[in-house]
Amino acid sequence: MGTFADDTAVEPLGQARYGAEVTERWTVLGGVPNGGYLMAIAARAMAGEASHPDPVSVTGHFLRPTAVGPATVEVEVLKRGRRLSQVAARLVQEGDTRLQLLGAFADLEVLDGPTKLDRQPPALPPRGETVDANASADEHGTFAPPILRQLDVHMPAATLGWSLGQPDGTGEMRGWCRLADDEELDVFGLLMMADAFPPAVFNSGAPVGWTPTIEMTTQIRKRPAPGWLAGRFATGSITGGYLEEDGELWDEAGDVVCLSRQLALAARA
Amino acid sequence: MGTFADDTAVEPLGQARYGAEVTERWTVLGGVPNGGYLMAIAARAMAGEASHPDPVSVTGHFLRPTAVGPATVEVEVLKRGRRLSQVAARLVQEGDTRLQLLGAFADLEVLDGPTKLDRQPPALPPRGETVDANASADEHGTFAPPILRQLDVHMPAATLGWSLGQPDGTGEMRGWCRLADDEELDVFGLLMMADAFPPAVFNSGAPVGWTPTIEMTTQIRKRPAPGWLAGRFATGSITGGYLEEDGELWDEAGDVVCLSRQLALAARA
Contact in structure between A74 and A24 (CB atoms under 8 Å): no
User: What is the average pLDDT score of chain B?
Assistant: 96
**Rounded Cα gap, residues B111 and A34, in angstroms:** 26
| Arithmetic mean of pLDDT, B237-255 | 97
pLDDT digits (tens, 9 = 90+) for A154-185: 999 999 999 999 999 999 999 999 999 999 99
Report A:153-182 residues touching B (Cβ under 8 A).
171
pLDDT digits (tens, 9 = 90+) for B157-193: 999 999 999 999 999 999 999 999 999 999 999 999 9
**Rounded Cα gap, residues A93 and B39, in angstroms:** 30
Of A46, A61, A101, which to mutate for an interface test with B (greatest number of B Cβ within 10 Å)? A61
- What's the DSSP call for residue A14? E
CB contact B225 to A (< 8 Å):
no
Contact in structure between A177 and A151 (CB atoms under 8 Å): yes
CB contact B112 to A (< 8 Å):
yes
CB contact A29 to B (< 8 Å):
no
Contact in structure between A12 and A193 (CB atoms under 8 Å): no
Q: How many CB atoms lie within 10 A of CB B83?
A: 15
Q: Answer yes or no: is pLDDT of B74 > 90.
A: yes
**Rounded Cα gap, residues A269 and A14, in angstroms:** 48
Contact in structure between B249 and B188 (CB atoms under 8 Å): no
Q: Report chain B residues whose CB lies below 8 A from the CB of A263.
A: 56-57, 104, 219
pLDDT at A247: 98
Name B246's bridge partners.
B234, B261
Please give the model's pTM, rounded to 2 decimal places: 0.97
CB contact B242 to A (< 8 Å):
yes
Q: Report chain B residues whose CB lies below 8 A from the CB of A235.
A: 118
pLDDT at B89: 98
Distances (CA, A) of A259 to A195, B35, B164, B268: 11, 21, 32, 22
Report which of B67, B62, B72, B66 is spatially closest to residue B42, judged by C-alpha positions: B72
Q: Please list the pLDDT of chain A residue by residue as tens digits (269 residues).
A: 799 999 999 999 999 999 999 999 999 988 999 999 999 999 999 999 999 999 999 999 999 999 999 999 999 999 999 999 999 999 999 999 999 999 999 999 998 888 999 999 999 999 999 999 999 999 999 989 999 999 999 999 999 999 999 999 999 999 999 999 999 999 999 999 999 999 999 999 998 999 999 999 999 999 999 999 999 999 999 999 999 999 999 999 999 999 999 999 999 87
**Matching CATH number, B4-108+126-268, of 3.30.420.130, 2.40.37.10, 1.10.287.890, 2.40.160.210:** 2.40.160.210
Name A73's bridge partners.
A18, A91
Residue spans of the domains in chain A: they are 4-108+126-268
